[in-house]
Amino acid sequence: MTTILIIEDDPNIRESINDMLEIEGFTVVETDNGEQGVKLAVEHNPELVICDIMLPGMDGYDVLKAIHSIPETRLTPFVFLTARTDRKDLRKGMHMGADDYLTKPFTNEELLDTLKVQLAKRAEIASTMGADLETAKKTLIHLVAHELRTPLVSLKMVEEIINLRMGQLTDDDVGSFMEVVTKSTRRMGHLVEQMVLTTEIQANILTADIVQEYAVPTGIWELMTSVVELGRKFATRNNDTDIHVSMRDRDTTVNCTVQSLKHALAEIVTNAINFSKGETVMVYQWTTETSCCISVTDSGPGMPAGTIEKAMRPFEQINRERQEQQGFGMGLTLANAIIEMHGGQMEIQSVLDKGTQVTVCLPRA
- Label residue 161 by pLDDT band (50, 70, 90): confident
Q: Which residues pair with 3 in a beta bridge?
A: 27
pLDDT digits (tens, 9 = 90+) for 272-301: 998 888 899 999 999 999 999 999 999 988
Does 269 score more than 90 pLDDT?
yes
Q: Could you say which DSSP state residue 312 is in?
A: T
pLDDT digits (tens, 9 = 90+) for 77-121: 999 998 866 666 667 777 777 888 888 888 999 999 999 999 988
Q: Quick check: pTM over 0.75?
A: no
Q: Which residues of 196-217 are buried (b: 16+ CB within 10 A; e: fewer)?
A: ebbeebeeeebeeeebeeebee
pLDDT digits (tens, 9 = 90+) for 206-223: 899 999 999 999 999 999
Cα separation of 212 and 205, whole Å? 13
Average pLDDT of the chain to the nearest whole number: 85
* pLDDT, greater one: 122 or 317: 122
35 C-beta neighbours (distance < 10 Å), count: 16
Contacting residues for 252 by C-beta, under 8 A, at least 6 apart = 219, 220, 285, 287, 292, 364
Amino acid 262: pLDDT: 96
Of 79, 81, 75, which is closest to residue 45 (Cα–Cα)?
75
Does 331 score more than 70 pLDDT?
yes
